[in-house]
Amino acid sequence: MAKDVINVDGEDTVVREDTAKSYRGVIWALLSVAAFVIIGAIMFFFFFGGSIGNGDLQSPKQIEEKRQ
């Protein structure tokens, strides 16, 4: 059976190859989710941050009153 080395808590650990691939997959999945959340937060503040800071954010009721 093939063995592989992974780094857990600063220590190298010898595990089976499938376990090492699974461990790396979980790490990449967590990093991907974190990146998605960070990019989403940046986009939210990029699009809505200016409106919130200036007080230009209006409710649907206020928008409808402006139309009439």
What pLDDT was estimated at residue 59? 75
Q: By three-state DSSP, how is residue 59 classified?
A: coil
What pLDDT was estimated at residue 55? 62
- Flag whether the pTM goes above 0.75: no
Q: Give me the average pLDDT of each 10-residue run along the chain (68 residues).
A: 89 93 96 98 82 67 80
What pLDDT was estimated at residue 25? 96
What is the C-alpha to C-alpha distance for residues 42 and 22, in angstroms, rounded to an integer? 30
Which stretches does DSSP call E strand in the chain? 3-8, 11-16
Residue with tokens 């960070």: 38
